[in-house]
Amino acid sequence: MTTQRCSFTRTIHPVKYLQDHLEQNVRMDGRKFLSFRPISINVSSIVQADSSAIFKLGDTTAVCGIKAELATPKADTPDHGYIVPNVELSPLCSSKFRPGPPSEQAQVLSKLIDIILSNSVALDLKDLCICRNKLVWVLYCDILCLNYNGSVIDACTGAMFAALKTLVLPEVNYNKETAVIVVNPKNKKTFTVRTLPVSTSFAIFEKQLLVADPTDDEEDLSSGKFSIVFDDEEEICYIHKPGGIPISQNLLSKGLELAKARAKAVRSVINAAISTMNVNDGMETNT
């Protein structure tokens, strides 16, 4: 009976349900305010993709598949390849999304990932050049959210960079005189990822209460939210705050400290999953 009453209160009065929990210094899923959900990573599980990764953050799950294609470089960057990240939020992952063209939130996520790629300098796009002005690699990074339950940008970036870390490209020779392209799949080279950015999300509630790794309900009911991205050198790549109440200096400092430690933990799990792949392809690593 008590369980039914709690479920009714959560559905009909979600704000009161949340406030009752916060007043008791506990979150709706039982976590402490500054605790994170466990993560698990599975790499190279999609055989049709050139590389792939599944990133689970509690219930939030994102999968990234990368397809590498040959193309003509852009006119303003003749010796650079390019990367096209695309996030899809389908009705499969949450009832808040509908079939049809990409939602505004999906477009924002795609743009955020593009900014993180640019700001972090994780990739040198010159590595994708085969012949200046003639031929480059294009990496299409398709990220599909399978289950949407908060901190989605963290899961999407984790899945994409884990997939990039396992990307192997074949040797390509281009004859300038005849324009003949020869692909040698037997000679392959691992694509270099110079740093591994990790995103960590937070929610803010009234009275400057900070909550780490918020769920979807917590994000919807919060007074504000923000995400911090750190690279390997503990440098800030990006801070994203889409509106909401201002963040106090104290909360921002606390968020930076937590995000820095979380980035190390996530990075170690990604690297462990990749190392495990070399021994037993597809084995899952957890934290």
Residues 6+ apart with CB under 8 A from 142: 64, 65, 66, 67, 86, 88
CA atoms of 202 and 118, how far apart (whole Å): 23
With H, G, I as helix, E, B as strand and everything else as coil, classify residue 273.
helix
List per-residue pLDDT tens for the chain, 287 residues long.
344 444 444 555 555 556 665 666 678 888 999 999 999 999 988 889 999 999 999 999 999 999 999 999 999 999 999 999 999 999 999 988 998 888 899 999 999 999 999 999 899 999 999 999 999 999 999 999 999 999 999 999 999 999 999 999 999 988 888 888 888 888 888 999 999 999 999 999 887 899 999 999 999 989 999 999 999 999 999 999 998 898 999 999 999 999 999 999 999 999 999 988 765 554 444 55
The whole-number pLDDT of residue 243 equals 84
Name beta bridge partners: 88. 144
Indicate the pTM of the whole model: 0.88
Can you give the pLDDT at residue 259? 97
- What count of other Cβ atoms lies within 10 Å of the Cβ of residue 197? 26
**How much is the pLDDT for 87?**
96
Q: Would residue 150 be called left, alpha or beta, if left means φ above 0 and alpha means ψ between -120 and 50 degrees?
A: left
Structure tokens at 211: 């909550």
Q: What is the pLDDT of residue 284?
A: 45
Q: Are 163 and 65 in contact (CB under 8 A)?
A: yes
